Structure 1
Amino acid sequence: MPIRLLAPLAALLAFASPAAAWWEYGHETVARIAFDSARPETRAELRRLMAKGALLETPDCAVDTPEKLSYWADCIKPLGDRFSYAGPWHYQNVDICKPFDLKAACKDGNCVSAQIERTARLLADKTVPARERLMALAFLVHFVGDLHNPMHAGDRGDRGGNDVKSNYGLVGGRTNLHSMWDGYLAERAISTPPGGASALLASVPPGERAALAAGSVEDWSREQWQASRDHAYTSLLGDPCGPKPETRPTLDEADVQKLIPVLRRGITAGGLRLGRLLDEAMLEGKAPGQRDRDR
């Protein structure tokens, strides 16, 4: 085949090939950015806590590396009743077609943002038994990753886009809006050169990282809710709050190219924000929302 034809073919194959999912690749990347951006003293404290993984009694779901730790909250799902209570903690269905209302989507703390604050408080409290702090760490690392997937932060009454049947380029059949952001788009965004956690972190100059990591969990929730509306739904449907499509809409390569920077920025922000939370919890005994709780 002529060399001049190889690049278009490679792009087509990359667009159409199966992708590693957010629940692995995305979470691992957020976790790695967080650990690499955290202070050395924080990393040392985290390693000491992660070394106690046997306390969790989940031998098939290890927590001895940041990447494994990031996936623990999904790995334990097949354990059924032991952890079934945590199912609603991975997302928050904030309606993108109404004014932002986090309270309505977080009844009784059963949403991802509330659980980020709760698990950060547990991690920051050194009087809490080691097993509970380690479990809180595993949940926290995973939930910050979840929040920075827009399909876990906002929807239009369609289970986070799971009910929006759609095609990812040439890939169709069982794909939907949620699965595209969970898998195909996450893989494309993270692996697009320069790819990987170190490249994403390096894309933000050190002097700008604190600003990207700043804000409250509610601020981050609003940001990702808006990304769900303005990027996820709009790129696929045009009108994010318009009628349900009668046929399967297709996300084409031009759309993907526009979305790659959005995902890369969101994943990097998630990692830096998690790194900040880990520094505050492990070194300062602080957690988001703690000041309001203690009043």
Structure 2
Amino acid sequence: MLNSCHIQEVKCSRIFLGINSVIKIKMLLRLAFLFVFCGVSAGAFAWGADGHRIVGEIAWHYLQPETKTKVSRLLKIAGEPSLAEASTWADRIRSDRRYDWAAPMHYISLPRHWDGYREARDCPPAGCILKAIENFEKKLSDRNVIESERAEALMFVAHFIGDLHQPLHTGLAADRGGNDIEVRFFGFPTNLHSLWDVYLPAGFVQDWKKYASAQLEVIDEQQQSRWLSGDKTEWAAESQRLVHSHAYTTEKALGEDYYLRNREIVALRLRQGGVRLAAVLNRALGE
């Protein structure tokens, strides 16, 4: 279950109780474009490229000046134009067989009744997202590591912090985090994981950069302080609670009701991911 602070944030940020006909038509047209013309594959990208860009863009605005300088230098080495774009890199390389070893690091499979993270039990030898973030954060902060490897570590950290805030990346192993749960969203066939990765955010994000900038007006200092009070295992615990309280459903035909129940959860997790990514980078690269 969400704690009272999260519930209040979701209630305060909800701007409508239903989708009016104009908004619904625009959303359906956007979804149709994604399904038919873009060929978004099931479970291909966590948060979708725009979701990761939003997390990266929000994080950029919360970086300390010295951290921005160091991040910019590493991005130049990596050939990435911005932290927002670099946040998508770990998905862009998934077709590169040289990075097959990184595939298990995008998620952690947790049971419904989970009593907290224990690495020996919850993270297999191939790795998991929590261990990956820990390892790449250490590499990023180590001044003795060559710059090209630190640049790669930066891009992994930026991506995996985003992944950790998508609830289905802490879902059940039995259904591969919702990838094996087929649903229809406003009549379009997809699976539960892709629904959260791509189609729920697509309902309210038309321009990712404008959307990210608008979130800076929503996030206040009290929220930042609260979001940074826990560690990465607590961020995983938040996702694990949300995946069972909001994401998993026995319904197969999903539409307006499911969208309205979850759109502000998605928006909240994107904001939290951005603020927390900035904190991780400030700690790893700041003075």
**Category of TM-score, reference length = shorter chain:** 0.7 to 0.9
- RMSD between aligned residues: 2.4
Give the conservation status (yes or no) of the 8 Å contact 1:95–1:157.
no
Where structure 2 has 5 or more consecutive residues not aligned to the other structure, the ranges are 1-19, 35-39
2:187 is aligned with 1:184: no
1:94 aligns with 2:97: no
Unaligned segments of structure 1, at least 5 residues:
1-6, 54-61, 238-247, 285-295
- Correspondent of 2:180 among 157, 163, 181: 163
Q: Compute the displacement of 1:260 (Å).
A: 1.1
**Structure with larger Rg:** 1
Structure 2 residue 58 is the aligned partner of structure 1 residue 33: yes
Q: CA deviation at 1:85?
A: 0.7
Q: Per-residue CA shift, 1:127-177, capped at 9, x if unaligned?
A: 1110111110010000001111111112261001011111112212xx010
Correspondence list, 1:128-143, <5 A: 128-143=145-160
Whole-angstrom CA distance in 2 between matches of 1:222 and 1:146: 13
2:75 is aligned, of 47, 50, 53, to 50
- Describe the shift of the 1:193–1:139 C-alpha distance in structure 2 as closer, same or farther (beyond 3 A): closer
CA–CA separation in structure 2 for the residues paired with 1:122 and 1:280? 13
SS state at 1:167 partner: strand
Counterparts in 2 of 1:219-238, with a 5 A limit? 219-233=234-248, 236-237=249-250
Whether 2:274 is the aligned partner of 1:271: answer yes
Q: Distance in 1 between matches of 2:263 and 2:89?
A: 26
SS class of match (2:201):
helix
In structure 2, do the counterparts of structure 1 residues 274 and 98 end up closer, same or farther at CA, with 3 Å as the change threshold?
Answer: closer
Counterpart in the other structure of 2:283:
280
Aligned residue identity for 1:28: R
Q: Secondary structure at the match of 1:108?
A: coil
Percent identical: 30
CA distance in 1, matches of 2:85, 2:202: 18
Q: Distance in 2 between matches of 1:193 and 1:77?
A: 22
User: How many correspondences in the alignment?
Assistant: 256
The answer to whether the 8 A contact 2:53-2:208 is kept is no
Indicate which of 58, 64, 69 corresponds to 2:81. Answer: 64
